[in-house]
Amino acid sequence: MKHFITLNDLPNFQKALDLAKSLKESPYSHEDIGKRKTLGLLFFNPSLRTRLSTQKAAQQLGFSTMVMNFSNEAWALEFEDGTQMRGIRSEHIREAAAVVSQYCDMVAIRAFASLTNKKQDEAEIVLKSFAKYAKIPVINMESATGHPLQALADAVTLEEHKKKYRPKVVLTWTPHPKALPHAVANSFTQMMSFQEADYVIANPKGYDLDKNITKNIPVLHNQSEAIQNADFVYAKNWCSYQQYGQILRTDEKWMLTKEKMSLTKNAKFMHCLPIRRNIVASDSVLDNSNSLVIEQANNRTFAAQAVLKILLDHA
């Protein structure tokens, strides 16, 4: 594996999942493999979990880490080739990526979707330009279209809590006052293609995800119907994909409540965090013992640790 941009970059998904689980059992079992190596973490957007869990993962493998908030600390980057750089962008990605490659042995990058230009977002300019011009492995810490570290962690959480071979797992759209990207929903859906499960997506009309990602997965426009007998309910907001970046509704009808969860088979509740209480899900859902959100965040460390180890193993 040269880079970790999507889950499909993993040489073997099941082996990565097993490795993450074994690292959770024994986090320091490979504590020297990153010795005298440096992981750079570049953030174009805010983070709590990804920033801390990826650093912790690196440290548990012996890496040193360097963190930089590109949005307010670094020179603004130019990604276009052949341009005369008269504007506010002071540094070209060609130099920036080459320079970072001298200080770091791997670089992890967070660069969200703009949600204003679908074509540009889908081109993943930031991540793919780093992958093109850096001489070191690039790790996706949430890009415009995917959040594979979250999805791998969610796979660990599902595995830990599933009580039958083929559980019913529902990804449901929930309301949110801001336009949010599709990255988490996309990667969760890609991850579910590796799972034995009855996987269903629920979202209001106008919110269907990219059909290249959902493929033949059932998409229901009635949340109550979708979550009937579910074993896991994963809540997430995303903006409209068809009317790209738009918020089409903010009403509470799709918020997850205790009453809604009673339609399920005592389902576990999942969300990647951060979550807006009493908008995405009610306090009664989040504070219920069936909520796995804190464990999901915990599993981020071991998912990141597995990815770092696989990249080292394939260096």
Q: Which residues pair with 198 in a beta bridge?
A: 168
Pairing state of beta strands 232-236 and 268-270? Answer: parallel
State which residue has the least CB distance to ligand CP.
50
Question: CB of 222: closest distance to ligand CP in angstroms?
Answer: 27
Q: For residues 197 and 272, which CB has a smaller minimum distance to ligand CP in the complex? A: 272
Question: CB of 141: closest distance to ligand CP in angstroms?
Answer: 8
Question: CB of 149: closest distance to ligand CP in angstroms?
Answer: 8
Q: For residues 13 and 43, which CB has a smaller minimum distance to ligand CP in the complex? A: 43
Q: How many residues does the chain have?
A: 315
Torsion, Cα 233 46 20 101, to 10 degrees, reads: 150
Question: CB of 44: closest distance to ligand CP in angstroms?
Answer: 12
Identify which of 224, 236, 204 has the alpha carbon closest to the alpha carbon of residue 264. Answer: 224
Question: CB of 155: closest distance to ligand CP in angstroms?
Answer: 14
75 DSSP assignment: P
The one-letter amino acid code at 32 reads D
Question: CB of 146: closest distance to ligand CP in angstroms?
Answer: 12
Q: For residues 20 and 93, which CB has a smaller minimum distance to ligand CP in the complex? A: 20
Question: CB of 49: closest distance to ligand CP in angstroms?
Answer: 4
Q: For residues 108 and 255, which CB has a smaller minimum distance to ligand CP in the complex? A: 108
| R_g over Cα of the chain | 20
Question: CB of 48: closest distance to ligand CP in angstroms?
Answer: 4
Residues 6+ apart with CB under 8 A from 224: 260, 263
Q: For residues 206 and 274, which CB has a smaller minimum distance to ligand CP in the complex? A: 274
What is the chain's percent helix, strand, coil content, to nearest 5? Answer: 40, 15, 45
Residues that bind ligand CP (CB under 6 A): 47-50, 142, 150, 272-274
Residue with tokens 């106008």: 206
Q: Can you say whether the dihedral through the CA atoms of 185, 112, 9, 152 is positive or negative?
A: negative
Tokens of 104: 């770091």
Q: Can you say whether the dihedral through the CA atoms of 262, 264, 268, 269 is positive or negative?
A: negative
240 DSSP assignment: -
Q: For residues 177 and 274, which CB has a smaller minimum distance to ligand CP in the complex? A: 274
Q: For residues 47 and 117, which CB has a smaller minimum distance to ligand CP in the complex? A: 47
Q: For residues 151 and 200, which CB has a smaller minimum distance to ligand CP in the complex? A: 151
Residue 89 class from Cβ within 10 Å (0-12 exposed, 13-18 middle, 19+ buried)?
middle
Q: For residues 137 and 181, which CB has a smaller minimum distance to ligand CP in the complex? A: 181
**Whole-angstrom Cα distance, residue 150 to residue 245?**
22
Are 214 and 208 within 8 A, CB to CB? Answer: yes
Are 154 and 234 within 8 A, CB to CB? Answer: yes
Question: CB of 303: closest distance to ligand CP in angstroms?
Answer: 11
